Structure 1
Amino acid sequence: MKLTSMQKKNILLLLFLVIVWGVNWPLSKIALAYAPPLLFAGIRTLIGGVLLILLALPRWKSLRFKELWPIYLVSAILSIVFYYGFQTIGLQYVPAGLFSSIVFLQPVLLGIFSWMWLGESMYALKIAGLLLGFIGVASLSVGGFTGSISGWGILLALASALSWAFGTIYMKLRSARVDTLWMTAMQITIGGLILTLSGSVTERWGDILWNGAFIADTLFISIFVIAMGWVVYFKLINEGEAGKVGSFTFLIPLISIGTSVVFLKEQITLNLVIGLLLIVCSIVLVNVKFGRSAKLSAN
């Protein structure tokens, strides 16, 4: 089957998204050695939001802030404040591997919610693929299952996954009313302001070590991971099936672990190989229809 130019473009965008969101985890781990968590989350998000506002200024008439601010606020709370906030706090209570495996229950939740509220197709192989992807992520993260496990940490990880899934569904439902670029810029900026204010109250600005490594790390995350990453994510969600796009996010922990091996000298394990195979199978099952499943979804 020959790919169209749009399909090729979307594949490249997906590759970009998976790579930059994958390297975000080890880069964030490095940056947290120089700054408190909430302030770091707020700074990187706020910078990304301001950059997007500058990019969106030529189409400022599409902002319609007085009319659309409730949508911007709800989206900011779900996709930015809750997602990053629960994530930052929860990592203090449970091992990172376990936490990330629970957070990446999100594609499974997104697939189910997209079927329930967006009318996207659902069939047995797709369900199997989503579950297989989650098992693959769990396999990647099994090394993090050691150590004390807090019930609060588990709940915060689930809350992070739910907020990400709900935020994506909310964005898809409201996409016809808003300009995608302004929606992304506003939710990130508002979320960044809330996170920065929260960090200013609970943490100390004096604890930030403004060295070259921290500044370069923060700017990379702000520009590529947050500003460009969220724009690409919501563009793909708006133009395609949310469940299918979500299935590719199963690759993010794989990229994260791979870059951690290179930059943080972590080891390659059998779990990594098993997880990779399961994730690849998952993406195939979710995105390719076979036989009877194709006929059922077409009806």
Structure 2
Amino acid sequence: MHARLTPRDTLLAVLVTIAWGANFAVIRLGVADMPPLLLASLRFVVVFALAAPFVPRRGIPWRRLIPIGLAMGVGQFGFLFVAIALGMPSGLAATVLQVQVVFTTLFAVAFLGERLTGRRIAGLVIAVAGIVLIGLDAGASATVVGFALTVAAAACWATSNVLTRRLGAVGGLSVVVWSAAVPPIPLFALSLMFEGPTEIATALTHPTWGAAFSLGYLALLATLFGYGVWNTLLGRYPASTVAPFSLLVPPVGLLTGWLAFDEVPDVPSLLGAGLVIAGIAVANIVVARRRPRSVSRTPAAEDPEPEEPVRVLS
């Protein structure tokens, strides 16, 4: 693996994080014209229909894919789309959703036996302080229900992360594509229950340009392009080289929310967002360690020092 990204791959990593950051404003555009649960369902229909013929399942059993699909598709995106539809600003949603790092770490410690380093604990405490600050300000910059649903979405994302990690070394894009076969039916059933057949029929028979653009963007750019490129980069470079680019997602989300919808969070929410980003950076960016030059060149000494795992977007 190469230690540094080439200029071309650096550009690709930045483009992916821009696509992911702008994704939240695009969701807001879509849920303005289409029921959120229906939009989430259609997103996974398009992803699976377009990609499944070309991306192998790699023998991943359905008993593993179904829980991942439920946690990621129904939980994470179902809660997130509804949260934004209920008034959660897209920029703040992009930031609050990153609290999945906290949930992922706690779940990994509880269920996978992972250990916490002092630096990671410090980073998680900083991130949690930021989330608390945003939560206390939720009545001013966001709806309380929207904030709570976004935190629930983060917990579901963390659950899917832990379930995916239990699969071991499998193609990340294969997991994304084939788990996309799971959410459409339960999401559509929830849409029928809560959004009603009339709303669904109107959205499907009278599609708007905004809803069509949102669906295409979410399926093609945010999912297939984003995860396709991201997983390719993770195959070429150490995770600690690629993962820090994900820290661009919240700033891009805040910027696009401001440009597209004039979302201007209050000062406490902005401070909380800064703490979340700083905490994630402290907890997840690996600091390179230098080897003493006096170490003799034995086969063991020539082996690269193992890196601490880094959380990446999922």
TM-score interval, smaller chain: 0.7 to 0.9
The number of equivalent residue pairs is 281
Is the 1:24–1:256 contact (alpha carbons within 8 Å) kept by the matching residues of 2? yes
Is the 1:104–1:134 contact (alpha carbons within 8 Å) kept by the matching residues of 2? no
CA-CA distance at 1:78 after TM superposition: 1.1
The equivalent of 2:201 in structure 1 is 206
Q: Does the C-alpha gap of structure 1 residues 277 and 161 become closer, same or farther in structure 2, counting only changes over 3 Å?
A: closer
- Does the alignment pair 1:110 with 2:109? no
The equivalent of 1:75 in structure 2 is 68
Identity of aligned residues (%): 19
Distance 1:90 1:201 in 2: 17
Distance 1:169 1:234 in 2: 17
Mean CA deviation greater in 43-52 or 277-286: 277-286
* TM-score, scaled to structure 2: 0.70
- Does the alignment pair 1:278 with 2:275? yes
Matches within 5 A, 1:1-299: 4-5=3-4, 15-56=14-55, 60=56, 62-64=57-59, 68-90=61-83, 95-96=88-89, 103-118=97-112, 122-136=116-130, 144-146=138-140, 149=144, 156-176=149-169, 178-200=170-192, 202=194, 203=196, 204-208=199-203, 209-231=206-228, 245=243, 251-267=248-264, 270-271=267-268, 274-275=271-272, 277-279=274-276, 281-286=278-283, 287-289=285-287
Is the 2:123–2:279 contact (alpha carbons within 8 Å) kept by the matching residues of 1? yes
Is the 1:49–1:189 contact (alpha carbons within 8 Å) kept by the matching residues of 2? yes
The equivalent of 1:294 in structure 2 is none
What letter matches 1:160 in structure 2?
A
Q: Does the C-alpha gap of structure 1 residues 281 and 88 become closer, same or farther in structure 2, counting only changes over 3 Å?
A: closer
What letter matches 1:165 in structure 2?
A
What letter matches 1:75 in structure 2?
I
SS in 1 for 2:124: helix
CA-CA distance at 1:218 after TM superposition: 1.6
Segments of 5+ residues of structure 2 without an aligned counterpart are 290-306, 309-314
The structure with more radius of gyration = 2
Is the 2:38–2:187 contact (alpha carbons within 8 Å) kept by the matching residues of 1? yes
SS in 1 for 2:33: coil
Distance 1:155 1:212 in 2: 30
Q: Does the C-alpha gap of structure 1 residues 267 and 179 become closer, same or farther in structure 2, counting only changes over 3 Å?
A: closer
Is the 1:136–1:279 contact (alpha carbons within 8 Å) kept by the matching residues of 2? yes
1:168-192 Cα offsets, whole Å, 9 max, x none, are 111011033x443332211113213
Q: Does the C-alpha gap of structure 1 residues 8 and 231 become closer, same or farther in structure 2, counting only changes over 3 Å?
A: same
Mean CA deviation greater in 202-211 or 40-49: 202-211
What letter matches 1:131 in structure 2?
V
Is the 1:49–1:227 contact (alpha carbons within 8 Å) kept by the matching residues of 2? no
Is the 1:19–1:255 contact (alpha carbons within 8 Å) kept by the matching residues of 2? yes
Is the 1:48–1:222 contact (alpha carbons within 8 Å) kept by the matching residues of 2? yes
SS in 2 for 1:54: coil
What letter matches 2:44 in structure 1?
T
Q: Does the C-alpha gap of structure 1 residues 276 and 16 become closer, same or farther in structure 2, counting only changes over 3 Å?
A: farther
Higher helix proportion: 1
1:64-83 Cα offsets, whole Å, 9 max, x none, are 4xx71111111101111111
What letter matches 2:14 in structure 1?
L
Distance 2:233 2:134 in 1: 26
Segments of 5+ residues of structure 1 without an aligned counterpart are 292-296
Distance 1:263 1:154 in 2: 20
CA-CA distance at 1:8 after TM superposition: 7.7
Is the 1:45–1:191 contact (alpha carbons within 8 Å) kept by the matching residues of 2? yes
Mean CA deviation greater in 71-80 or 249-258: 249-258
Root mean square deviation of aligned Cα: 4.0
Mean CA deviation greater in 9-18 or 129-138: 9-18
Distance 2:238 2:106 in 1: 16
Distance 2:109 2:233 in 1: 17
